Structure 1
Amino acid sequence: MARILVTGGSGKLGRAVLRDLVAHGNSVLNLDQAPPQEAICPSVKIDLSDFGEVAAAVMGGIDERGGPFDAVVHLAAIPAPGLAANARTFTNNVSATYNIFEACRLAGIKNVVFASSETVLGLPFDTPPPYAPVDEEYFPRPESAYSLGKLVDETMAAQFCRWDPELRMVGLRFSNVMYPEDYAAFPKFDSDPNARKWNLWGYIDARDGAQAVRRAILADFKGFEAFIIANADSVMSRSSASLLAEVFPGVEQKGNISTNSTLLSVEKAKRMLGYSPQYSWRHQ
């Protein structure tokens, strides 16, 4: 049993992460400004912009909620572009991530997983991607304050790992998070292929997102790595190759693209994390 600290466990993906970690026998503490919708594990209200509060929590200094912690999962953030003023989104998200990373450094925690985002790949792809399926091989192309902040998070993680060769930090570039109740809306996407081109028709079932977090915690490499985390298929009934041909006709198609396969490559996550998507909106 590991002791795991999670930030943002009250959010859409966070709830699934808490459930998965607890179900696999871990002792979990949630840190969030918002109260949890269900009592999955103990939860503490915290302001992640306050380094003193963050350091106290990470170092086990909250009464009755002490550590030490084996791993930290940082999910808390303003979760998308356009929900707050750009400067607020950037400042809130980047400072919270720095506070978590620095507190982990001071506490000697060597295992950190954090939520990056598919947006660093160039979403909403007003400028087409260099090729498809997209992967982690090309340098990020942030197109919003939100995605710029996620790139800063990844850059910080790489430098924290340079400072400490024993540290592992994993940035998970999650696609658009969905629950089974969201799948009723998927069939209407077929009527307009441009409606979901902004993320190459991708998504991530929250339960598979939680699986990726758990596998990242258990990974056995050192240093920083970023991984795209998406489901194995697209949100569309049409073939992925035909979608690319219509909406992104000049984009190179790399390798064999099966009928409905994701255009957000998860091959690196499969190879290095053992990630294997289990869910699909097609088979609920």
Structure 2
Amino acid sequence: MATAQRVVVTGASGKLGQFVVEHLVESGYHVVSTDRVPPPPGSPGDFTIADLTDLGQVIELLSGVDEGRAADAVVHLAAIPAPGLATNAATFRNNVPSTYNVLRAAQVVGIRNVVTASSETVLGLPFDVPPPYIPVDEEYDVLPQSTYSLGKSLEEEMAKHFTRWDPELKVAALRFSNVMRPEDYANFPGWQDDAQARRWNLWGYIDGRDGAQAVRLALQAGFTGFEAFIIANDDTVMEGDSADLAAEVFPDVPLKRPLQGRETLLSIEKARRVLGYAPQHHWQAEL
């Protein structure tokens, strides 16, 4: 019987991390999860507390010195997860060195399969400066508008160079949209009378279960090198048609192609094409 792939998941106690750990365990992976705080009681997988700003701890974690077996892959979700939750300096000081340490530790240990959480914010959120076109995609240069987003942009740039140094390395940077739990959908009806309320991310979201699916597909993907993927649901948080939303709120932004129904304005075409990503959970079906 084949040994299950050992995957280290950082940020495992976070909103998305809990979905990812559960999904990977259910999918047959041996998950070693880590965070600064424990996950809820009864969470699956093996858990250990680690400070990712300490390179030595990250190397020890990925090399599996206590388990006698190094990890086969790492999913790096740990971060201060949004602007405004800490001072800008504290956010940068935590997030960017932690990602460097994960990439460096993977290099030292010989891990060549890395999935890392980037962010939709690198696309230019909160779009006070309108996007270059709609739907937005991975084809234009990053446009960070906050220190948090700047950090995510620099983390993607670091990953590009780590893969340049090691042509066998794969780093998939998943630009997650606003993560939602099923219970969060009770808030969605309250947004319907004001198109401006969620303009800041083009009315996008990602169900945590679909975010976990994207992580698994990225782990399984066969490419090498660096690739960034927008990960959002295929609909918006609004009940109205996406073309009408775009015309009302961003009338001067060109459409890259005609919009159909309530489709997402955060293009997931690349994730569909390369990863086989297909969202399964939609907010209207949960209410």
Same fold (TM over 0.5): yes
The residue identity in structure 2 corresponding to 1:56 is: E
4+ residue runs over 2 A deviation: none
Q: What is the Cα-based RMSD across aligned positions, in Å? A: 0.8
User: Any idea what the Cα deviations from partners look like across 1:191-247, whole Å, max 9, x if unmatched?
Assistant: 111110000000000000000000000001110000000000000011111111111
Give the Cα separation in 1 of the matches to 2:146 and 2:184: 25
Aligned to 1:208: 210
How far apart are residue 93 of structure 1 and its match? 0.1
1:12 matched to 2:15: yes
User: Any idea what the Cα deviations from partners look like across 1:36-65, whole Å, max 9, x if unmatched?
Assistant: 11321111001111111111111112x3x4
Give the Cα separation in 2 of the matches to 1:94 and 1:66: 29
Confirm or deny: 8 A CA contact 1:31 1:44 kept in the other structure.
yes
| 224, 227, 232: which one aligns with 2:226 | 224
Give the Cα separation in 2 of the matches to 1:121 and 1:37: 33
Aligned to 1:57: 61
Aligned to 1:242: 244
Q: 1:205 to 1:73 in 2, by over 3 A?
A: same
Aligned to 2:284: 282
The residue identity in structure 1 corresponding to 2:64 is: G
The residue identity in structure 2 corresponding to 1:245 is: A
How far apart are residue 66 of structure 1 and its match? 4.3
Structure 2 residue matching 1:195: 3-state secondary structure: helix
Q: TM-score scaled by structure 1?
A: 0.98
Once the two structures are superposed, the pairs formed by residues 18-97 of structure 1 within 5 Å of their partners are 18-38=21-41, 39-61=43-65, 63=66, 65-97=67-99
Give the Cα separation in 1 of the matches to 2:120 and 2:219: 20
Once the two structures are superposed, the pairs formed by residues 191-202 of structure 1 within 5 Å of their partners are 191-202=193-204
Once the two structures are superposed, the pairs formed by residues 119-268 of structure 1 within 5 Å of their partners are 119-268=121-270
Confirm or deny: 8 A CA contact 1:57 1:66 kept in the other structure.
no
User: Any idea what the Cα deviations from partners look like across 1:146-173, whole Å, max 9, x if unmatched?
Assistant: 0000001100000000000000000000
Q: TM-score scaled by structure 2?
A: 0.97
Give the Cα separation in 2 of the matches to 1:68 and 1:97: 19
The residue identity in structure 2 corresponding to 1:84 is: A
The residue identity in structure 2 corresponding to 1:266 is: I
Q: Which runs of 5+ in 1 are unaligned?
A: none
Give the Cα separation in 2 of the matches to 1:256 and 1:211: 28
Structure 2 residue matching 1:124: 3-state secondary structure: coil
Give the Cα separation in 1 of the matches to 2:141 and 2:123: 8
The residue identity in structure 2 corresponding to 1:121 is: L
The residue identity in structure 1 corresponding to 2:160 is: A
Structure 2 residue matching 1:194: 3-state secondary structure: helix
User: Any idea what the Cα deviations from partners look like across 1:7-63, whole Å, max 9, x if unmatched?
Assistant: 0011000000001000011100001101111321111001111111111111112x3
Percent pairwise identity: 59
